A and B are shown apart, each in its own frame.
Chain A
């Protein structure tokens, strides 16, 4: 152990349930705090500083929560599948816990995406909902999240439950390119890609900063939420152990 690379050793330590509990309890408030601060800056710029769009008026300001949430809904699914694959291949308990902790966070961001898109759609498209490829595929993503959460809750053995739900998460990854390219492959009411990570965005540069703040803020928030949710599951799984009794403040 003493000759081990420090990074590898840290990963080994992180796999220990009491060590992870201390790690999550220590860093989650920082991630939430940074997320809240960054999102507050983004929301302030998006709501009060950036001028209204010449076509959409103020309704375009919804974009600053809709787009980062949509990206997070997909990123969390990819992360869940990645942790799920690691958990299935190497049978690492912490990865099972982290994979399952991703599901409610991703589902929350998917709900935000669908709801804010719907609220924006009413004045702009004249309807709350349309069975458009982008909207429908995003709704299927929400059902997949519900499937993973439900499957994990339905099987009593926590490890078997996590493995079954991880498999569903891996299969569900097929939805991600479908959502991403739905506006290209099919005749969609939803607008095409406006913001590009590589290459020039078709959005005016003056409108970008609030979006970047919100994108970073939602990432920090998701890290905080992932740590707290994983901590809760870790504590529940280990409830009979001495270290959990110590965390609960049980006198020896």
Chain B
């Protein structure tokens, strides 16, 4: 009466779903922070080019 295949499949589903639950919000945080950094870099570049325009 060994149902090892079924038991392993069930525990694998459990582990896979929890892994997704662990990774998904971290990816989202990384994306948000990356977007903030890119926006800041664009703002800095824009401010710098505006300052050069004024100098000319």
Name A's B-contacting residues (CB within 8 A): 32, 43, 47, 52, 56-59, 61-62, 65-66, 69, 104-105, 108, 111-112, 115-116, 119-120, 122-123, 221, 225, 228-229, 231-232, 235-236, 239, 244-245, 247-250
Contacts and interface: CB of A to CB of B under 8 A. Distances in A.
Interface in B15-56: 17-18, 20-22, 24-26, 28-29, 32-37, 40
Contacts of B29: 228, 231-232, 235
Contacts of A244: 32-33, 36
**What 5 A-B pairs have minimum CB-CB distances, sorted nearest first?**
A57-B1, A59-B3, A248-B36, A250-B40, A248-B33
B11 A115 contact: no
A102 to B, nearest CB: 12
Contact of A250 (B18, B20, B21, B36): B36
Given A58-B1, A225-B25, A249 B37 contact: yes
Contacts of A32: 22
Q: Is the interface of A mostly helix, strand, loop or mixed?
A: helix
A59 B7 CA distance: 6
23 contacts: A47-B7, A57-B1, A57-B2, A58-B1, A58-B3, A58-B4, A59-B6, A61-B7, A105-B21, A112-B13, A112-B17, A112-B18, A115-B17, A119-B9, A221-B21, A228-B29, A229-B25, A239-B35, A244-B36, A248-B36, A250-B36, A250-B37, A250-B40
Q: How large is the interface on B (under 10, 10 to 19, 20 to 34, 35 or more residues)?
A: 20 to 34
Interface of B: 1-4, 6-7, 9-11, 13-14, 17-18, 20-22, 24-26, 28-29, 32-37, 40
B22 A43 contact: no
B6 to A, nearest CB: 5
A211 to B, nearest CB: 14
A244 B35 CA distance: 11
A60 to B, nearest CB: 9
A68 to B, nearest CB: 10
B25 A116 contact: no
A62 B6 contact: yes
Contact of A112 (B1, B14, B26, B40): B14
Nearest to B26: A228
Nearest to A111: B17
Contact of A232 (B13, B32, B34): B32
A70 to B, nearest CB: 12
Contacts of B10: 62, 65-66, 115-116, 119-120
A244 B1 CA distance: 56
B28 A236 contact: yes
A57 B7 CA distance: 11
Contact of A120 (B2, B6, B14, B26): B6
Given A119-B10, A232-B28, A108 B18 contact: yes
